[in-house]
Structures are given as structure tokens and as C-alpha cells.
Structure 1
Amino acid sequence: MELNNTIALVTGSASGLGAATAKHFAAHGARVAVLDFNEAQANAVAEELKGFAVATDVRDEAAVAEAFESVSNFFGSPPRIVVNCAGVGMAARIVGREDKLSFDVFEQTLRVNLFGTYNVMSHAALRIAKLSSLEDGERGVIINTSSVAWEDGQLGQTAYAASKGAITAMSLPAAREFAQSGIRVMAIAPGLFNTPMMEGLPEDVAAKITANIPFPARLGEANEFALLAKHIVQNPFLNGTTIRLDGAVRLPPR
């Protein structure tokens, strides 16, 4: 599938990996819908891309349904390409100091990362399946964002690792279910990337993290995530699996 003149929806696209993906897709001719919880930033990115912004909480099923309708009305058709980048990265031990439990962190993390991804994927597949097929029988592609933490979860990342592991686990059964409709489902598991989440770390902490990356010995750039997302869109035989994008890093226990 080519990006040129194809409608794409990217969640979490007001910043970080999502914004880079939205901008990269637009640079290659895609008509992009910017979906994010932050309305002001979403509008700013959409204005830059001459796209369409929708302020939406991916945890809210009705809000996501309404967002898809808004995108369809604006562009005249539902998106064929959907990339899920919306997520949170909270950390907490299962049992912390003074016996403090962290179920609230676990619940919130799964609601955004996992339920939000499943919610958007569901509404995307529902609408893509009703589009006419392209020459090769393909109708669309859904790309979800996992993380290397699903395999290398560090201390305090139980909730995050669980959410990303579930996203990875969904790829194959979802791809099998949607195969009859010509819809591919893939996941990208990024490693340590230069995103707003990482930029907030102290310089010495960031240097220590970077030292664990074999090659290139640096943080990943958001545009490198976008490059892989573009390749997945264009390569019709990529389906039902997760690709690690990590510079060969394997995260230590802490």
C-alpha cells in the first residue's frame, strides 16, 4: 500500500513517535488525521501538516467512535492506515515502600496503553473492512506500538510491560481474524528513543541508559520509528508479528 493520497490516522500524534509518524506520512503524500488527548498540540501538528485534528481520549469507546466519524466526514472516507502511538509510561513497584500497593497505576496504564489500542483497532477494522479492496486485495493496515519492555521489563515496569506484552500478543490473532477482510496488523516494539519522556531525565541518567545500547550507541530518533511504520505500510507481506526497533539493546533489571 502506498501512502500518497491515502488517509492515515495516528493516535498520540501531538508529540513524540506519533508526531514524527504523522509528519513522515504527510511528507509522502498521506492525508493525516492527528488524534491526541492534547487538543492544542494536536491542532498545531495538524495545521503544520494541513491535516485534521481530533481531541480524543482513546480509553473512551464512544469518543473513539465519534472521532472516526469526524475523520471520515472530513476526508470523505475512513482511514486505510491506522497507527496507535497513544500511551503512558508510569512506573511503580507492585509492593512499594511502606507496603503501598500500585493497582491504580496498573489499571491506568492498561486502560490507556492496552484498552486504548484495542479500542482504536476495533473501530479501525470495522470501517476498513467496508472499504473497497485495492488491486492486491488489501484494504488497510493497523500498526500498534509495543515496547522492548514486553520482553525486557525492568524493576517497576510491571504495569507497562504487561500492557505492551498484551499489545504484542494481539498481533497474530488480530491479523488472523482480519485476514478475510484484507487488513494487516503489525506491532513495533521501540527501545530507548529520544522522546519527551526521555528528555525529562537528568543528563547523567540519560548517559547511563544510552551506554547500554550496542549500536548505534545513542537513543533512537522518532523519525526512525516513522521510517519503519512507512515500510510496514508499503510491504504487504509484513503481518501478524512484532518488530523490535532497538539498536540491539537488552534492558538490564534496573
Structure 2
Amino acid sequence: MKIQDRTFIVTGGASGLGLATAKELHKNGGYISIMDMNSEAGETLVKELGTEKAKFFEVDVTKTESIQTAVNETAQWTKSTGIELGGVITAAGVGFPGKIIDRHNEPLAMESIDFVLNINLRGTLDTIRLALPHMTQVTPTHPDGERGIIVMVASSAAFDGQPGQVAYAASKGAVASMTLPLTRDIAQYGIRAVTIAPSLFESNMTKLLSNKVRKSLERVMEFPVRAGKAEEFAALVRHCIENSMLNGTVLRLDGGMRMPSKL
């Protein structure tokens, strides 16, 4: 599927991996619906990209009505531009680490678990289900009858999470495991589903890591021995969109890294 002259929803599109993705798709001719909580960063990005091909919507992905409003307004925008919806990239996510039982024999607060699950998992599902009724009505432009793509974001923690990542790994593992059934649900409409599972990437979350933790992680890296760059993630999103044979799969983007059990 071509990126040019298609509209793409990017949640978490004002920072980190989502920001890099929004810029990459825009650079390749896409129109970008940026959905994020950070209105200042979102409006700054729209000014950078230009108001013709970018719109910002302040969205809390834990609230259905917030997503619904932004999706509906995005759909109205596509009608005014004539640039139909081509895909959804669900890059909104949080880490918020915490062991399931702490040194004082206290269980992890359910509020902390809900916070992670509601953003990483519920927010992903809710965004997809609300966008799909619009995507199924898109005019197929590909000889195969392709209408669009869903690109979800999991994590290497879905496969080898570290201590303190129970809630995070649960949320990202769920995203990874729902990739194939989602693919099967939407195949009849000519819509694909792919998940990318990055390891340690430079982002707002990884900026909080101490030098000790970062060095410990570098010891288990294969090649290259560094955190991934947001632009490398965005390049894979672009390839997922453009390569119609990528469907129903989880792509690890980790340089061969496997997370250690202890830091």
C-alpha cells in the first residue's frame, strides 16, 4: 500500500516512537492525524509539518469518548481533503514499573496495574475498534483490494520481561497475542494487522533509566550495542505499510537483544 495521499492515525504521535512515525509518514506523502495527551507538543508538531497535512487531537486513550471524538473528526477531515484513511498506528504507551510484591511484602497497587493496562492494552483495542468502521468503507486502491493497515506496538517485554514488568509485560504480551486473531477478523475487508516489538529504544521512558541500568542492558546487546533510534522504528512502520505481504505477525526490532532476568 502506498503512503502517499492516505491519512494515518498515530496515537502517542507527539513524542518518542509515535513522533518519529508521524514525521516519517508525512515525509512520504501521508496526511497525519496526531492523537496525544500533550497538546503543546502536538500543536508544535502540526506547525512543523504544516496544517494542510497534519492535525492534532488531544486524546486520552483510556477514555472511549475522547478517542471517538478524535476518530470522528479525523473522518470528517478525510472527507474535506479527499484523502482517505489508510492506517492506524497505536504508539501510545507507558512503562510504570513495579514488582508484584515489594520488599515490605506489599502487593503492587491495582491502580498501578490498571494504569498500564488501560493505556497500553485497552487504549490500543479501543482505538482500533473505533477506527475500523471508517476503514472498512475506504475505497480499495491496490489490485489486491487492500484498504489499510493496523500497526500495533508491543515490546520485547512481551517475551522476556524483567523484574518489575509484570503489568507492562502483560499489556504488551496481550497486544502481541491478539495480532493474529485481529488479522483474521479484518482480512475480509482488505485490512492488515502487524505488531512491532521493539527492545530498548531512545524514548521518554528510557530517558528515565539510570546509567547503571543502561550499562547493564548494554552488556546483553548483540549488535549494535546501543539503544535503537526512533527513526529506525519509524522506518519499519513504513515498510509494514508498503509491503502487503506483512500481515498477522509480530516483528521483533531488537538487534538480537534478549532482556536479562537480573540487572
The TM-score normalised by the length of structure 1 is: 0.97
Structure 1 residues not aligned, in runs of 5+: none
Report the CA distance between 1:106 and its aligned residue. Answer: 1.2
Matched residues in 2 for 1:117 and 1:78: separation? 21
Deviation at 1:78, TM superposition (A): 5.4
Match for residue 66 of structure 2?
63
1:228 CA displacement: 0.4
Q: For 2:94, give the aligned amino acid.
A: V
Give the match for residue 72 of structure 1. Answer: 75
Return the offset for 1:200. 2.5
Of residues 180, 185, 189, the one that matches 2:193 is 185
Structure 1 stretch displaced more, 243-252 or 36-45? 36-45
Task: Kindly tell me the number of residue pairs found equivalent between the two proteins.
Answer: 254
Q: Distance in 1 between matches of 2:250 and 2:89?
A: 14
2:187 maps to a residue whose letter is: A
Where do 1:199-210 residues align within 5 Å? 199-210=207-218
SS in 2 for 1:180: helix
* Structure 2 residue identity aligned to 1:32: I
Tell me the CA shift for residue 100 of structure 1.
Answer: 1.9
Aligned equivalent of 1:122: 129
5+ long unaligned stretches in structure 2: none
* Aligned residues of 2:94 and 2:205 also touching (Cα < 8 A): no
Partner secondary structure for residue 34 of structure 2 = strand
Deviates more, 1:217-226 or 1:103-112: 103-112
Say which of 92, 110, 115 aligns to 2:117.
Answer: 110
Give me the TM-score of the superposition, normalised by structure 2: 0.93
Distance in 2 of aligned mates of 1:194 and 1:234? 25
SS in 1 for 2:178: helix
1:97 aligns with 2:103: yes
Instruction: Measure, in 1, the Cα distance between the counterparts of 2:119 and 2:194.
Output: 19
- CA distance in 2 between counterparts of 1:205 and 1:69 reads 42
Q: CA RMSD in A?
A: 1.2
Percent identity (aligned): 37
Aligned to 2:49: 49
The 5 Å alignment of 1:1-254 reads 1-50=1-50, 51-76=54-79, 79-102=85-108, 103-135=110-142, 136-254=144-262
For 1:147, what is the secondary structure of its paired residue? Answer: coil
State how far apart, in whole Å, the 2-side matches of 1:221 and 1:211 are. 18
CA contact under 8 A between 1:33 and 1:46: conserved in structure 2?
no
Letter in 2 for 1:80: G
Deviates more, 1:151-160 or 1:103-112: 103-112
SS where residue 85 of structure 2 aligns?
coil
